[in-house]
A and B are shown apart, each in its own frame.
Chain A
Amino acid sequence: MSTQTDETQTISPVASEPSRFRPSTRGWAIRLVVIALLAVVTVWRVATVQPLWADHISLAAIFAIIGLSLNIVLGYTGQVSLGHHAFVGLGAFIAAHHITERAGCAPEEGCIESSLGTFSVAILLAILSGVISAGLLGMVALRIKGLYLALITLTYGFVAVNSIFEISSLTRGGAGMPAPRPATFFSDHKYMVLCLGLLGVCMFIDWRFLRSKMGRAVLAVKSSEAVAASYAVNVTAYKLMAFMLSGAFAGLAGALFAFRRQIVVAPDFSFSTALLWVLMVVVGGLGSRLGVVIGSMFFALFPFLIQLVGFLNDFLANTLQRDPEELTLVIGPFLALLTMIQFPGGIAEQISPITRWLGGDRFTMHPEGKHHKPSLLQRRRAKKQGLEVHDDAELVATKSEDLLRDAAGEPDAASTQTMAAVDSSEEVKS
């Protein structure tokens, strides 16, 4: 299996460097007013939204939680999960199963509202199922990395859909497993508030996680296994924790998904959905919490937003006779490709002048050190040169080792390896 280091290195997260600039009191005041205005407008708009849109926004919040979940795997650990529909779907079925079968609140028995207690337990069980299955995946991921892990997750996703979601005691086959909401969150509006609230909780947890020793260690591993080794921390356990946290978010999103429609059917979770989730995280901006949330919400709301644009809606409905949702599968991947090729950093990078300003930085389109994306090659090259220039002792050591090897006439395996590393660093862009 290839052990190329760059397999584990993805687009770097948007790291904010400590800046020396501090705004004046007036500057802070302006920023606060802007933030407050934004908050008020958002809250007011959301609070007075139509029930139909409340339902759409619930979906957006659920997508955002899924986005955060994937971002942990993709943005923080640098691995790809192509089977997230399995985690989310399992969470959904587990939650629905608990309500209907275990707590005995089945619609056919006239139960259309679950109790708040069973509802909460169902959500917790869904989270637990996510933690356990992602933990298992994490254990595999510790041994199998990069491209191969992507393949395994995709395969697992197919197994989930064709095998686990076919177990009729869990899913009631094609009819689907009902998942009635409790009275407290029965209206679409109340349910939306719940989803947004839980999204907020997830964002908070994600923020705390990244700030913790664990989070920092995981990020360090991503940029270099060697650096991580020198950390002398139990990176393995931390990585596993990251996967489990990702699973927890996915399970939660699954439960919310189930209660949104109040029934779960297997076709809700197809591999193309899972792939689209990966792309929405890329479009949002890997490693950036806010970017990922915006990107995910955009992907969720895209079909509904199109319907708001009169002529587009007419064109789709009358001329093409297509469902706007079908368009997501074309536009989504297109945006993702555009992001990867033209705008690495995604939405997060594009809005960074604004977010940085709000965070107390100068307003500038070109934050320091970001004029041109520093390529991995350049950075590595610089590191190599640094070694050669500043660390002569090191160079001499390599030389004498090589010398010994030549004298002994042994095959020069070690130097081949170094050379392989040099290979990639020496590719000169023209």
Chain B
Amino acid sequence: MSLLEVQELSAGYGSLPVLQGLSFKIEEGETAVLLGLNGAGKTTTVLCLAGLIKPWGGKITFDGKNVTGWDPRKLVAEGIVLVPEGRHVFPELTIAQNLRIGAWPYRRDRKHTRAIVEQAVEYFPRLQERWTQLAGTLSGGEQQMLAIARGLMARPKILLIDESSLGLSPKLTKTVFEVVQKINSDGTTVLMVEQNAGVLKIADRAFVMEKGTLVYEGQGGEILDHAEIREAYLGAPA
């Protein structure tokens, strides 16, 4: 049984449909990537998965449960955690406080929280150096790291990471991807939304979206062999 199964998902904003019958599966323990041009509906997809917008139709099954239309509160407790596009760190709180907010579901369990904090910081030693700095004063790369670390605080079973490489230098992007790979190998399933071809190196599975539907699905490396897909969706002749 797959960890996450999406069937015929449709959703939109106001009266504007965006997702029109989207279906895919993610297996436990893998790193999947969702590719597509701007406006394809990738962010809408992960917002739906995280419960931040209500699906119009279709079914989302997670860990054997039908979680369609659940509240973000319940979904986070269930283990679906989103690292949103644009990082969205709390600018006027320190790094430490940002992480503490991330551990909200475990707020009554101090010891547990401390343990997760330590684990998260192991992935991003740079955060520890700036423990009491306000998040708003961090660089873009550091904010991205903080956003991922904050997502980890809720002990996700699946981490949805939306455009983590947006606006980062190639070197930083590589670092972030490597950490995500480490997080995955430590047992967290990952779905990355990306436009950066570099992500395919760490991907087990890749989906390509266009206009709210899936147009391609395959192994991570495979996609690089399809010249037309590569050029159309990754804009990078590898």
Contact = CB atoms under 8 A, between A and B. Distances in A.
Given A385-B39, A411-B137, A416-B137, A428 B169 contact: no
19 contacts: A385-B39, A388-B38, A388-B39, A399-B167, A402-B167, A405-B140, A409-B139, A410-B139, A412-B137, A413-B137, A415-B143, A416-B91, A419-B87, A423-B88, A426-B86, A428-B47, A428-B52, A428-B53, A430-B53
B54 interface: yes
Nearest to B139: A412
Given A372-B15, A389-B38, A406 B168 contact: yes
* Chain A, interface residues (CB within 8 Å), range: 20 to 34
Contacts of B166: 399
Contacts of A402: 140, 167-169
Contacts of A413: 136-137
A268 to B, nearest CB: 46
Interface of B: 13-15, 38-39, 47, 52-54, 84-88, 91, 136-143, 166-169, 172
Contacts, number: 71
A403 interface: yes
A399 B52 CA distance: 27
A44 B146 CA distance: 73
Contacts of B13: 378, 428-429
A407 interface: yes
A430 B52 CA distance: 7
A406 B140 contact: yes
A405 B139 contact: yes
A403 B84 CA distance: 20
Given A385-B38, A416-B136, A422 B86 contact: yes
Contacts of A168: none
B66 to A, nearest CB: 19
A398 B167 contact: yes
Contacts of B47: 428
A420 interface: yes
Contacts of A407: 169
A419 B86 contact: yes
A371 B141 CA distance: 42
Nearest to B54: A430
B140 A412 contact: yes
Nearest to A422: B86
Given A372-B15, A389-B38, A412 B91 contact: no
Contact of B88 (A412, A415, A419): A419
**Which one of B13, B52, B167 has the highest number of Cβ atoms from chain A below 10 Å of its Cβ?**
B167
Nearest to A411: B137
Interface string A80-101: 0000000000000000000000
A405 B15 CA distance: 40
Contact of A411 (B14, B86, B138): B138
A388 B43 CA distance: 14
Interface in A104-140: none
